[in-house]
Structure 1
Amino acid sequence: MVWARETIDDYRTRLWDMARGERRRRVDEALTALRTVLGHALGAAEGARVRAETRHRQLEFEKEIRLLGLAAAATDADLARRMAEDDALRAVWDGITARRDAGYEQWHREGLAQVHRLVLDEAPGAAGEPWQTWLGPAGTDPGAHAPRLWRVGSALVEHSAPEDAFPLAVPLLDVGHLRVNTTTGSRPAADALVETLVMRLVSAFAPGLVRLHLWDVGHLTGPLPSLHPLTAAGVMVVHDPTRLDDLLAQLAGHIRRVHAQSLRVHQTPRAASAAAGRRVEPWRVAVLFGNGDPLPDEQYRELNRIARTGPEAGVHLVLVDMPITANSPVETVTFTDAERATCSMTGPGVVVRADPAPPPAQVNHAATTIAADVLVRRGRPREFADLLPDTLGTGSSVEELRTPIGFHEGEPVEVVLGDATPHALVAGPSGSGKTNLLYAVLGGLAARYPPSELELYLLDFKEGVSFAGLTPGRKDPSWLPQARLVGVNVNTDREFGLALLRFLTGELARRAAAAKRQEVTKLAELREADPDGHWPRIVAVIDEFQALFGGRDQITQQAAALLEDVARRGRSQGIHLVLASQDIAGIEAFWGKPAVYDQCTLRIAMPKAKRVLAQENNAALALPRWHAVVNHESGVAHGNEVAHVPDASSRGTFDELQRTLWARMTSPKPRLFDGAHQPELVHAADFTGPRGPVLGQIIEVDDKAAVFRLEPVPGRNLAVIGTATADALSVLESAALSLGELHSAGECEFHLWCPVQSLEPRVTAAADRLRAKGHEVSVRTGDDVAKITEEITKLADETAPVRQYVFFYAVDATAHLLEAKETPLAKSGFDKLRELLKNGPARHVHTFGWWRGMGRFKETLGFAGMDDIGGWVALDVQGAELNTLAAGQVVDWSPRPHRAVFFDRTTHSRPDVLIPFDTTSALELP
């Protein structure tokens, strides 16, 4: 049994050993098979990797060759070395050159001739032929159809023979734009390309059908100087390098206008031109020279908008180093060195060269010829003399006023002021030619209508003397015979504009009353019914009229009401307004009062003027300088007439006409009001024959002085209040000297009291001047000041045999003297002064006192003394402090240099603004 168990165990052991050996064998076989499979897989992967690396290397090599170009690659030493070391790279080179040779063979056999034929057919004449065949004479093509292509240079496939070059032409008019990118040293070639292209454009058609706009960020005088003769005829406009915004706005406005017109007529300019057999709307080509720098965001967006929408409206761009997006119809020429370039039309494998530019002298001659042809087509160059009639001063203004102010294509463009177009609005930014236009209007009217038919009232609210030459001057004694009033430098004297409006309303009332008596309604009827009356048409020109409404005060309120009244009623009475401004927007006084704008049916817009035409009328945005849009239809677009306004303001134009008219026509000298100068006392109205003491010049249409009437009644004393020493002295000296002119020697005595030492020279000069006229003068200055109290007492208590005039300078400076009392119950000098002010006028003793502050003035007069001052002149005193002196009125007054406000209780319902006189010459001894 034991043996049997051992045998079984031994058998089992052998069986397990056999099983383990079989498993090991099978495992070894499997591992061997796996190793074999993995070996095959790794070998295949390695082969694939090698092949992939080789292909990648070949593709990168091919890309490098294409970027470099075959011509450059063929001479590149590094590429040659790599190909010698790597057969795979050599195979790539061989393949490329083989394909090139096969493709070029076909190109040379078929394509070259096709390109020549294409350019010949699609770029005929000046569009594609060498400049020697067309440069010089002006074109004659009416522009019904534009060539599809325009030559910009020649092109040559790399490795081709020079004789295989072909013309390179790009689409432009009615299609797209051209962009030129430069590199270092290539700007001359780029300029030559652009200049030749531009000359092709203007030479291909009848002159004037292609209008050029030239802008260069780096040139103040404009690029391409050989083309500048084109500016004389308006064919080319050179724009300010700092005003790209304006040019882009002008082009955008033109595009909008053309598109709006196309929508109205359901026809694009291209289709309309084809139907008419001629170009109905000139092409506009903007040539912009940049420097490669990015544009501001808004300019960049506007440029791209023009690029997208311009071709359909006939607006095209030629851009040099100017950024633009790629989603516009634009072709690009990119210079790679000083002479060679590539083009988007031909790709990188073609070398482009700009055609050599024609000689500058020949370009200049051709441009001059084209400009001259334009002027001949329009008529000879128009000048100011062409605005004038053959016979001067023979027109009748019974029905209307009419004159040409410019020309369009040689034909005169007129402005009319009459019942249908009673008033005019003129707008234009600074430098747009607005003043020149006003001179053209005034010159044309003055040449046609004599002073009996036309009167002119001219105001200029800006700081300048635009109209001063219409009055006599030191060098030229002539004046414009029709001018009745000329106001210059009135920018701070809004009261003068208000005075003109009051005058016009008064004239309206006079004419309306006459018309009522004659039972007529219009000026023409009144003139027929009253042929012996003086009823000329009146034209009031107010430049920068919005200055009238520059404050929130009574002047603004009154001016708005008066202007509206004149605008509404002037139509029938022959009174016409010409209101000019840089921008007529934002006048709060007219909110809710459209009468002025509604009555101004004649609208004249200078270049880039805004808001004067109807809201959707953008015609002024595209105007070149010296042009204007004249519209008699309240600014609606269909009433537009574009006029070139000749030079009317240079020497030998308006001034020569004025001298001629002055010599032929009789008229009174117009009044000149110059707000920048103080009027001289010796030339003042009422000085040599006064009705009383004159104080200053009143700001009124008529030249008159402020006169303070002196009567033997209480209160006829005058107070001057304020710290403006020069103006206070002027008022007192004017009063004293004019009284000296009023009286003969011995009829009066003067008392001049001055407690301020610095004022003594002026007081002494006034005293000497009065003595020279034979008057008795008592002067208290220096040590004599202490005697002022005695003189006050004497004048207050005694009746003098002749008139007494007291001029008390700086009364407040004697307060310490006048307050003194000998005994507590005695009267002070102030008390005596009050008695003098109260009782003196009845005894022909009148006091003119100057107080340097409102507080001291009131302190001097006391509680009830205000009634003893019948008139006052306030200098640098705020209006709120004067209300109690003006019978409870609200005095709307803001002090300003050399201006004062005058109020006389017995004559004034409102204070007058006056200008103190310059008394220098009046103080000089004879």
Structure 2
Amino acid sequence: MGRLAPAYRQAVAAHHAARAHLDAARHALRAVPVPAAPPGVGELVGRLNEVGAALAGATPTDTAVAIRLGEASTPEGAFPALVPLGGGRHLAIDTDARDPRVAGLLRSLVLRLLAAAPAGEVRVVGIDTAASTATFGPLRPLVDVGVLAPPATTDAEVTALLDAAERHVRTARRAPGGGLLLVVAAGAPPRELARLAALTHAGAQGGVCVLAAGHPPRSAGEPPPSLASTTVVRMTERYAYVGDPPGTPFSDDDGGLAAPVRLDDDPAAASVRALAERLAAAARLADARRFAELLPDRRWAEPAGSGLRTAVGRSGRTPVSVSFDDTTPHWLVGGGDVGATASFLAAVLHGLVARYAPAQLQLYLLGLPDGVSFAEFGPTGHDQSWLPHARAIGIESDREYAVSVLRELRRELRRRATALKRHGVTRFADLPTDPPLPRIVTVFDGFDVLLAGHDGAARESATLLAELVRKGGACGVHLVLAGRGATGVEALGASGAALVGRVALSGAGGVLDPHNQAAEALAAGTAAVNVAGGAAGADTVVRLPDADAAAEALTRLRRELWQARPAGTRPPAVFRGYENARIEEDATYSGLRPGGRRPLALVGRTVDVHVSSALFIMDTTPGRHLGVVGASAAGADLLRAAALSLARQHLPGECRFLIAPLVAGADPVAGETTAALTAAGHRVDQLDATGLRDQLRTLADPAAPAPAGRTFLVAFGMDGASTVLDPADPRTARRGRDDLRAVLRHGPGRGVHLLGWWRGANRLADDVGEADDGHGVACLVTLDVPADELERHLGLRDVAYPPCLDRALLVDRHDRRVRLIVPFARSAHDLAGAD
């Protein structure tokens, strides 16, 4: 019984002497009172009580610890009955948990072991095929806090549980530090009894402890499989005997407890709830403490010349680090548990930013849909601080935004490669630039989403990532590719082999070598860190601190670093994929002033690495007009934003706005636009379809004097004017479309620009002509129009982006550029006012 054996043997020897003395005395003196206790026995009982109390409070380590199961009775007194558990020691009870005393004993031992162990060090799984979860029902609060897994009650569930336990044993032998797995069987599972028994032979390095009730089974048949290093408890009607059969006071080898044991009562429900709450609170506190212990004592004190390094967790008591250097330039991270991914990435990022100054480290952080959010690293509505190392942050990013970041990284990679060649060196650490270039760490969480499919974005992403993986490490550009299963790595082809750093989280698949099963036995909150490309035998099991538990401390760290940021540090560009763009919140819009030579029409935010403003220059070139195409009502909002941005660049009286609400659905937006422009002091005329026809006739007349100042014709639903644009004028034989096309071609030179919304590409083509070469409407914003319609009606080729809610394409026919944008929409306040 481990380190308790000498104390037990001493107790047994003393009881031998005492029992022999008493038996002789009772036989000879039956008629006289029982004599006093032999000298020394009372003192021994007192010492046993003291030792028992001390051992019961011990903290479990890699060796067995003493856990109380009841009170041993002797004629001279009582003392705690302790059994060794953990460290390769197990317990078997010859009666299953249908006996209420056994069920209570199992529950008591589970609670005592959990209470004695550091928070998070013990994980409990249960088997209850006989009582159908009745044994574990009172422990439900432990299930709720994730300490106890829902018990296995069917043959299939038992098989799966034992599969996981065996994987845990294999992993623990290769990479200790994964904690203790406590397997509690309320009854011996007949079909899997041999496998359960085999777990007891795993030894101290197996990281497993078995509590088996109903063993050996009382049914007839072959002898049951033997249990190794197991203390046996045998039940009688009134007592339990530990290590000795009933009716036999002591075993021949003195290995049993020479006293009957009265088992402790079943833990009260209130005690279970209290322990569950304490364990949850202790786990949070321990995780917060563990996170703090991983951070350096001094901020920004480490050099990054030869590489970056930071601790991410512990294996046992030993910190485990990941490095970004020539040996492990990149890391592949996989796991099905979003919480585990968040904890690992938080440990990496906070450790890095605490160790290295912004001049030595820059971060690009992208969380694709369903990935970890990096919102806390940038300014938010309730906290305007931001991490000074961050250059770009994507929150629920579009794949197109991720591609723009990859393009930016490739440009930087090639710039650095040129510098390496110019200085005649091959390693980033040897690059003699002044000041030194910072290392760049880019995190893509959800990168497998980025590579999914066979469309243009997936193909370009795979090409860019493969180049960065191959060449990035030598240039100080490092990647962390994280995904739910990391299944996208095969899209990188041979370059995937360069991802020698691998981290398998709970539920991971496809991260390690197919022959490496270490990930299958990982408990929640742990990870297998591998620096050999996932090869078997190179894993270190790491316990990760919980980022949620340390959230307050990490917030304080980020604010501390923000306050220490160097002068002139700019906030990161933040792209929020779920968020509508508001022109009132756009920095370019806020900076617009009257007096510019070429007014800018703002239409949205570009999906690029800097989330720049999407705009169109209204100069005097023929065709400098804006055409919005699509059935979505967002077209009206977009015209409103463009008109407001143009108005902001003119003093009152310098320009005139002709507002034409031609479809009923646009009336509220047209009304708001008219009110805003009027309030700003501009001249505003509202037109119906007939008024629009008259204005086009006047603006198209080359003999008419040019309008004073600029004129902006804002048409909400140009297709609604077809009834007046189709017929020819009886006097001149000119149709309204003829005048419209004349205005489109010659208007910019006379200061006249059209901002029009058409609800279909075919209707726009009818008005401006299918052969439009950019002299009609040079700037197009397409909303929900399929690519084939754009090509068929407007001649736009190679536009592969499918229509998507809250996204649009900005096409400038003059500079032949196509950009994905988030179009400006009205704010919630405006929408409420419209309602």
TM-score between both structures, scaled by the size of structure 2: 0.75
Alignment CA distance shift 1:903-1:431 (3 Å):
closer
Aligned 8 A contact 1:151 1:197 in 2: no
Gap regions ≥5 residues in structure 1: 1-107, 109-128, 155-166, 262-278, 295-299
SS in 2 for 1:638: coil
1:532 and 2:435 correspond: yes
Q: Distance in 1 between matches of 2:344 and 2:287?
A: 20
Q: Distance in 1 between matches of 2:460 and 2:513?
A: 28
Aligned 8 A contact 1:502 1:562 in 2: yes
The offset of 1:525, in angstroms, is: 2.0
Aligned 8 A contact 2:342 2:547 in 1: no
Write the deviation string for residues 875-924 of structure 1: whole angstroms up to 9, x where unpaired: 11112222357765321122221111111112234x21100123449989
The offset of 1:438, in angstroms, is: 1.1
What's 2:162 paired with?
Answer: 248
Aligned 8 A contact 1:179 1:330 in 2: no
Match of 2:349 among 412, 425, 442: 442
Aligned 8 A contact 2:239 2:263 in 1: no
Alignment CA distance shift 1:692-1:187 (3 Å):
same
SS in 2 for 1:484: strand
1:581 and 2:483 correspond: yes
Q: Distance in 1 between matches of 2:602 and 2:63?
A: 76
Cα RMSD after superposing both structures: 5.0
User: For residue 703 of structure 1, what is the amino acid of its counterpart?
Assistant: V
What's 1:75 paired with?
Answer: none
Alignment of 1:138-217 (within 5 A): 178=92, 182=96, 186-192=99-105, 195=108, 213-215=124-126
Write the deviation string for residues 311-370 of structure 1: whole angstroms up to 9, x where unpaired: 443456434589999776168999999979999998999xx9984227869xx99x99xx
What's 1:599 paired with?
Answer: 498
Alignment of 1:9-20 (within 5 A): none
Alignment CA distance shift 1:145-1:845 (3 Å):
closer
Aligned 8 A contact 1:488 1:673 in 2: yes
Match of 2:211 among 315, 318, 321: 318
Match of 1:627 among 506, 526, 531: 526
Write the deviation string for residues 385-427 of structure 1: whole angstroms up to 9, x where unpaired: 2122121112211110111121233222111111111111122
User: For residue 528 of structure 2, what is the amino acid of its counterpart?
Assistant: V
Alignment of 1:714-725 (within 5 A): 714-725=622-633
Alignment CA distance shift 1:170-1:539 (3 Å):
closer
Q: Distance in 2 between matches of 1:389 and 1:143?
A: 28
SS in 1 for 2:472: helix
The offset of 1:177, in angstroms, is: 8.0
Q: Distance in 1 between matches of 2:216 and 2:802?
A: 54
Match of 2:149 among 232, 239, 244: 239
- Range 764-773 or range 398-407, more displaced: 764-773
What's 1:662 paired with?
Answer: 562
Q: Distance in 2 between matches of 1:817 and 1:151?
A: 95
Match of 1:286 among 183, 190, 193: 183
- Range 847-856 or range 571-580, more displaced: 847-856
User: For residue 427 of structure 2, what is the amino acid of its counterpart?
Assistant: K
User: For residue 786 of structure 2, what is the amino acid of its counterpart?
Assistant: Q
What's 1:521 paired with?
Answer: 426
Alignment CA distance shift 1:197-1:819 (3 Å):
closer
Match of 1:510 among 410, 415, 436: 415
SS in 2 for 1:669: coil
Gap regions ≥5 residues in structure 2: 1-22, 24-46, 73-80, 249-258
The offset of 1:132, in angstroms, is: 8.8
- Range 617-626 or range 675-684, more displaced: 617-626
Alignment CA distance shift 1:457-1:317 (3 Å):
same
Write the deviation string for residues 5-58 of structure 1: whole angstroms up to 9, x where unpaired: xxxxxxxxxxxxxxxxxxxxxxxxxxxxxxxxxxxxxxxxxxxxxxxxxxxxxx
What's 1:24 paired with?
Answer: none
What's 1:329 paired with?
Answer: 225
Q: Distance in 1 between matches of 2:681 and 2:829?
A: 16
The offset of 1:530, in angstroms, is: 1.7
The offset of 1:828, in angstroms, is: 1.9
Aligned 8 A contact 2:64 2:84 in 1: no
Q: For this pair of structures, how many residues does the alignment match?
A: 730
The offset of 1:809, in angstroms, is: 1.3
Aligned 8 A contact 2:240 2:263 in 1: no
Q: Distance in 2 between matches of 1:465 and 1:380?
A: 19
SS in 1 for 2:309: strand
Aligned 8 A contact 2:64 2:85 in 1: no
Match of 2:696 among 778, 792, 795: 792
Q: Distance in 1 between matches of 2:530 and 2:562?
A: 32
1:563 and 2:465 correspond: yes
Write the deviation string for residues 72-124 of structure 1: whole angstroms up to 9, x where unpaired: xxxxxxxxxxxxxxxxxxxxxxxxxxxxxxxxxxxx9xxxxxxxxxxxxxxxx
Aligned 8 A contact 2:62 2:86 in 1: no
Percent sequence identity is 30
User: For residue 501 of structure 2, what is the amino acid of its counterpart?
Assistant: L
1:853 and 2:760 correspond: yes
Write the deviation string for residues 275-309 of structure 1: whole angstroms up to 9, x where unpaired: xxxx999985411447x9x9xxxxx97x5673364
The offset of 1:765, in angstroms, is: 1.8
Write the deviation string for residues 440-459 of structure 1: whole angstroms up to 9, x where unpaired: 11111111111111111111
What's 1:676 paired with?
Answer: 578
SS in 2 for 1:840: helix
**Whose helix proportion is higher, 1 or 2?**
1
Aligned 8 A contact 1:545 1:581 in 2: yes
What's 1:495 paired with?
Answer: 400
Q: Distance in 2 between matches of 1:742 and 1:170?
A: 82
Q: Distance in 1 between matches of 2:621 and 2:135?
A: 74
Write the deviation string for residues 539-585 of structure 1: whole angstroms up to 9, x where unpaired: 11111111112333100000111111111111111111111112112
Q: Distance in 1 between matches of 2:777 and 2:411?
A: 32
SS in 1 for 2:519: helix
Match of 1:829 among 722, 727, 736: 736
TM-score between both structures, scaled by the size of structure 1: 0.68
User: For residue 310 of structure 1, what is the amino acid of its counterpart?
Assistant: L
What's 1:307 paired with?
Answer: 196
SS in 2 for 1:693: strand
Aligned 8 A contact 1:196 1:357 in 2: no
